[in-house]
């Protein structure tokens, strides 16, 4: 019996699954709740609902950290559960194919973990392929990655930011920064504690980022949030301004700008010319911060192009590769390739 094709984008905060012929079929939080150290209490969005509200007997974690699989056993449980949701079956007669997006700037051992995730699961298949994430993200935005013209793509995710220069279907240089949207959240928590003497959780920090986050300071907005008073230990509240949120994110944003500049200085002049002509492509959830295009355009003095659906670029790129497997065969690596043996 012919198998189906599945594309998996395993992000730090979200997992997206693309099924050949059906499109995006799963979009959930990449989280797992473990009860009494061994029992699965919840997975995906259900685990996220429990986050920061659990008793001591339940531990909630993200199997992916810093862009790579940090806990392959829990990642296997999450992947199997969510694949079942979209009708993916196991068994000897069902020879499914799996395409997984992997950061470019990671070690071969870390890349191998993506193969092992499926190879050691209940899915009986050797059709396991990895695709370098920047190439998939570019394809998801209808960029011709096989063009002789160079292009730069910046993927600003929750746990990492990857800046990559691509030409002729290959990667010239890629830099993975272990900072992202979660870095901003942690900074918001720290500044609220320092300036308002209030302890807040990650969910509240995410709310402040979404409501008040702005790449250009001085909007004059604020939100009331609740937490625990540092001094009394009692529940309390504070009025948090958008200036605080901007202060929380500016170091991260300027680090991205510096890294892009450094890469532009090291690549061949011809590629730099291509990037100036074509612009820099931005994707990833953190690019949803308002006015980010103005900030990067002014700081880099290069045209910037932002993905209309930045959270789906990579997984849709996997869909392109699955639907046109013969055209993009040279962009995939299989378990049998020497680079991963």
Domain ranges, ordered by start, for the chain: 2-136+314-340, 145-179+253-311, 181-248
CA distance 139 to 132: 11
Mean pLDDT of 19-25: 93
Mean pLDDT of 42-50: 97
Q: Does domain 181-248 have CATH number 3.40.630.30?
A: no
Average model confidence (pLDDT) across the chain: 93
Q: What percent of the chain has pLDDT over 70?
A: 96
Fold agreement (2-136+314-340, 145-179+253-311): yes
Q: What are the structure tokens assigned to 281, written together?
A: 């492509």
If you count DSSP H runs as helices and E runs as strands, how many of each does the chain have, helices first? Answer: 10, 19
Q: Does domain 2-136+314-340 have CATH number 3.40.50.2300?
A: no
Binding site, by residue number, is: 158-160, 206-209
Q: What percent of the chain has pLDDT over 90?
A: 84
pLDDT of residue 172 exceeding 90: yes
For the segment 52-67, what is each residue's pLDDT rounded down to a tens digit? 999 999 999 999 998 8
Classify each residue of 140-160 as buried b or exposed e, where b means 16 or more C-beta atoms within 10 Å of its C-beta.
Answer: bbebebbeeebbbbbbbbbbb
Q: What are the structure tokens assigned to 10, written together?
A: 């395993």
pLDDT of residue 20 exceeding 70: yes
- Give the pLDDT of residue 125: 80
CA distance 48 to 32: 8
Mean pLDDT of 184-213: 97
pLDDT of residue 338 exceeding 60: no
Binding site for ATP, by residue number, is: 158-160, 206-209
pLDDT of residue 341 exceeding 50: no
- Classify domain 145-179+253-311 at the CATH topology level: Nucleotidyltransferase; domain 5 (3.30.420)
Confidence of residue 87 (pLDDT cuts 50, 70, 90): confident
pLDDT of residue 339 exceeding 50: no
For the segment 243-273, what is each residue's pLDDT rounded down to a tens digit? 999 999 999 999 999 999 999 999 999 999 9
């Amino acid at each position: 019996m012919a198998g189906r094709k599945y594309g998996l984008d395993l992000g730090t905060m979200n997992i997206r699954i693309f099924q050949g012929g059906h499109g995006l079929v799963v979009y959930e939080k990449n989280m797992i709740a473990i009860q009494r150290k061994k029992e699965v209490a919840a997975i995906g969005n259900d685990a996220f609902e429990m986050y920061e509200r659990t008793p001591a007997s339940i531990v909630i974690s993200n199997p992916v950290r810093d862009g790579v699989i940090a806990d392959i056993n829990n990642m296997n449980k999450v992947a199997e559960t969510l694949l079942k949701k979209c009708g993916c079956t196991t068994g000897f007669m069902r020879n499914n194919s799996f395409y997984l997006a992997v950061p470019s700037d990671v070690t071969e051992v870390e890349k191998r973990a993506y193969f092992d995730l499926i190879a050691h699961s209940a899915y009986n298949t050797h059709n396991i392929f990895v695709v370098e994430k920047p190439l998939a993200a570019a394809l998801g935005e209808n960029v011709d990655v096989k063009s002789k013209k160079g292009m730069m793509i910046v993927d600003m995710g929750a746990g990492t930011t990857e800046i990559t220069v691509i030409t002729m279907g290959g990667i010239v240089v890629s830099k993975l920064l272990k900072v992202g949207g979660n870095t901003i959240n942690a900074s918001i928590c720290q500044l609220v504690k320092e300036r308002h003497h209030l302890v807040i959780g990650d969910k509240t920090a995410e709310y402040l980022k979404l409501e008040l986050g702005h790449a250009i300071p001085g909007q004059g907005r604020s939100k009331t949030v609740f937490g625990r008073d540092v001094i009394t230990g009692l529940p309390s509240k504070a009025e948090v301004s958008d200036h605080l949120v901007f202060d929380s994110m500016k170091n991260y944003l300027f680090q991205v700008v510096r890294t892009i500049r450094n890469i532009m200085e090291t690549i061949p002049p011809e590629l730099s010319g291509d990037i100036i002509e074509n612009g820099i492509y931005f994707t990833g959830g953190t690019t949803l911060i308002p006015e980010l295009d103005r900030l990067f355009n002014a700081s880099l003095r290069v045209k910037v192009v932002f993905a209309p659906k930045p959270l789906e670029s990579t997984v849709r790129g996997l869909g392109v590769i699955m639907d046109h497997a013969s055209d993009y065969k040279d962009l995939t690596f299989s378990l049998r390739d020497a680079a991963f043996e």
